[in-house]
Structure 1
Amino acid sequence: MSVRERSSTARVIPPARPRKLAKVPFVELADGRLQGVVSSGSDIARVYVSSVAVGTFAFTCSTNNNRPCGGARGSFCKHIGSLITEAVLQYGAERVARYLKADTADAEPTAQGITAGMTAARPPQGDTAAAASVFSRFLRHLAYLELAPTTAPLPEMQWFPPTRAVA
């Protein structure tokens, strides 16, 4: 049995470039959105749950207490800008632009080019219903950081199919 077969962890694709987790600790391309958690610049105890929808670029930004972001009134706020920048660092600009279906004038897309392309499309304010599930997923990811490294299986990961047949 190989080390990989005995491990309870899955292989993670390395980020396109290293990123600092203090500002945007959680970013993902999931559920038809670029979504994540962004730290507040003014209050260490506050975070914002931000998202941008694929294709329409409908956006939302609210605190972890479900209060709307004061900067997201009719256009992207600084939290969404930070989210896009960190997504580009994590996944690469081409993948983010392709996922969001964002047209960029640049031959080589950048975070600024993606943001400008979506802003030009005049995105609407989106539905904040997804914020709770995004924040919940972020908290679940934080819980994994507290676990000691082990090769024992994790009960919540048992739904994964086995990598080889058991005799």
Structure 2
Amino acid sequence: MSVSEQSSTARVIPPARPRALSKVPFVELAEGRLQGVVSSGSDIGRVYVSSVTAKEFAYTCSTNNNRPCGGLRGGFCKHIASLIGEGVLQYGADRVARYLRFEPQDGEPSAHAIEYGMAATHPPKGDKAAAAQVFSRFLRHLAYLEVPPTTAPVTEMQWFPPTRALS
């Protein structure tokens, strides 16, 4: 049994570089997509849920109220560009490119090269159904900010089966 199988904690990967969470508070590589939540530049009460799928680079962007992004006019909007940039800051350009199955043309990938390289393939618009799941996960992450600091077990995390008696 590996060490990770014996522990009830998840391995946390530190960001490749520090990020400013005010612009893109949530970004993840999950479910075959680079996906996350991007703050609106004009309305403090609005966020956009954006994603790009691996391999085909299908993209979506809509508000938290499920309204389509006005910047989607046949290509990536500024929210998707911000998502890619912050994804590269969080995970590193190599990891993002590998996850999305993007092959950079000239050497090492960068956020700019990934964004423009994927856009040049004229990707299709993706399925908006995933936006609700992404936004729900973002809200669940936010809820943990409300939990007061403690060394006691967190109720939501007590689903782990006990493996041995604590002494």
TM-score, normalised with respect to structure 1: 0.90
Q: Structure 1 residues 108 and 160, CA, compared in 2 at 3 Å: closer, same or farther?
A: farther
The aligned counterpart of 1:147 is 147
Contact 1:8 1:151 in 2 (8 A): no
Aligned-pair CA distance for 1:114: 0.7
Question: How many Å separate the matches in 1 of 2:115 and 2:55?
Answer: 13
Aligned pairs for 1:77-156 (under 5 A) are 77-156=77-156
| Whole-Å separation in 2 of the counterparts to 1:122 and 1:53 | 13
Cα distance in 2 for partners of 1:118, 1:84 equals 11
C-alpha distance in structure 2 between counterparts of 1:160 and 1:18, whole Å:
31
CA-CA distance at 1:121 after TM superposition: 1.2
**Equivalents in 2 of 1:11, 1:98: separation in Å?**
20
Maintained 8 Å contact 2:28/2:87: yes
Q: Which residue does the alignment assign to 1:158? A: 158
Greater relative CO, 1 or 2 (CA 8 Å, sep 6+): 1
The answer (yes or no) to whether the contact 1:8–1:152 under 8 Å persists in 2 is no
Describe the superposition over 1:103-157 as per-residue Cα deviations: whole angstroms up to 9, x where unpaired.
Answer: 2123211001111111111100011000011001000000101111212112222
Percent identity reads: 75
Question: Which range is displaced more, 36-45 or 10-19?
Answer: 10-19
The code of the aligned residue for 1:117 comes to G
Aligned counterpart, 2:29: 29
Please say if residues 50 and 79 of structure 2, whose CA atoms lie closer than 8 Å, have aligned partners that are also in contact. Answer: yes
Q: Secondary structure at the match of 2:129?
A: helix
Structure 2: 5+ residue runs without aligned partners?
Answer: 1-6
Do the aligned partners of residues 89 and 161 (structure 1) sit closer, same or farther apart at CA in structure 2, a change above 3 Å counting?
Answer: farther
The one-letter code sitting in structure 2 at the alignment partner of 1:14 is P
In the alignment of these two chains, the number of paired residues is 160
